[in-house]
Amino acid sequence: MEITATVTAIGPHAISQTDPLVILFGQEATPELADVSVIQTFDQPAQQKQLVLHHGDHIYINDIKFRISAVGSLTNANLQQIGHATLMFQPVPNEDRLGNAVYLVPTARPTFTVGTTIRYVMND
């Protein structure tokens, strides 16, 4: 199954040159959250409720393929309800994993712009 979202806004403090993460939120993000987030809109909102990511699935950001190396315990519920996840472009830590994180390989963070396509590709 493949579910697609499009970046519709990028908060002025969303992309750090030093932090290896990108916070995603849906359109319902408060102004405070939108300030530090990349806002995504799902192309088919009904499909958002079916979004369940697992280790080994893939996320394509502007056609750059990333393999999911770990998914936090809160991630899928938050993605389904409010379009929220934290994309981590770093190795999975042995301890202190973020509950809402999706750890991705390779760890080079791609460029996000308004119009960027995010494709969630789940193995059936």
Q: 2-31 pLDDT, tens per residue?
A: 999 999 999 999 998 889 999 999 999 999
pTM summary value:
0.94
Rounded distance between C-alpha atoms, residue 56 and residue 71, angstroms: 10
Query: Tens digit of pLDDT for each residue in 32-66?
Result: 999 999 999 999 999 999 999 999 999 999 999 99
- CA proximity to 103, closest of 62, 63, 73: 73
pLDDT for the residue 107:
87
pLDDT at position 49: 93
pLDDT number for residue 124: 67
